Amino acid sequence: MSDVNHQISKTLVKQYGEGTLFALEDLTGVSFAEETLSKRNTKGRKDLKTWSFFQLEQHLTYKAHAAGSEVMKFDAAYTSQRCPKCGRIRKENRRHMQHEYACDCYGYRSNDDRVGAMNIQVLGTLYISGDTNPRFGPRKTN
């Protein structure tokens, strides 16, 4: 995995070059439930303990800084519940178990992780547009 993370980070920095903002989901405190793994699945348990996303973030940050780019982590709250087409946030639109997102606007439908990634990109765009603390949340009504 270390070599894969090295190759991915190297390719990203080479592809996008100097001045790029790489927007990542802040995964601080994220863990996976070990109880969902079989007792006999020791490899799965080991993989869980050596989760490589942190390492990918480290490789990407190091290489991005060396190339004159930046890596920012953004709060993932509501990113898998926010429609990338209309901007509406509705928990009911995300079907977590099916990894599906569906909004009644324009009939938009996609993978929930893809929707989350698209919204992380929006947060990055908001940041470079001047919002120093971009985030999503439910709209407040008066």
pTM of the model as a whole: 0.80
- Residue 119 has a CB neighbour count (10 Å cut-off) of 24
Query: CA-based angle 23:26:32, to the nearest 5?
Result: 130
Higher pLDDT, 137 or 17: 17
Q: Which residue in the block uniquely carries the two structure tokens 């001047």?
A: 130
Sorted by sequence, the CB contacts under 8 Å of residue 2 that are 6+ apart come out as 52, 55
For residues 112 and 137, membership in a common domain is answered with yes
Domain boundary among the residues 74, 101, 116 is at 74
Query: Helix 2-16 crosses helix 53-66 at what angle (to 10 degrees)?
Result: 40
Domain boundary among the residues 24, 50, 74 is at 74
> What is the distance between the terminal CA atoms of the chain, rounded to a whole angstrom?
50
Upper half-sphere CA count for residue 49 (Cβ side, 13 Å): 6
For residues 22 and 61, membership in a common domain is answered with yes
Domains contained in the chain, number: 2
pLDDT, averaged across the chain: 87
For residues 87 and 65, membership in a common domain is answered with no
For residues 2 and 65, membership in a common domain is answered with yes
Q: What is the pLDDT of residues 47-95, one digit of tens each?
A: 554 568 889 999 999 999 999 999 999 999 999 999 999 999 999 999 9
Domain housing 26? 1-74
Q: What is the pLDDT of residues 28-50, one digit of tens each?
A: 776 655 555 555 555 555 555 45
As a whole number, mean pLDDT of residues 9-24 equals 97
The string of DSSP codes covering 48-97 is HHT-SHHHHHHHHHHHHHHTT-EEEEE--TTTTTB-TTT--B-GGGEEGG
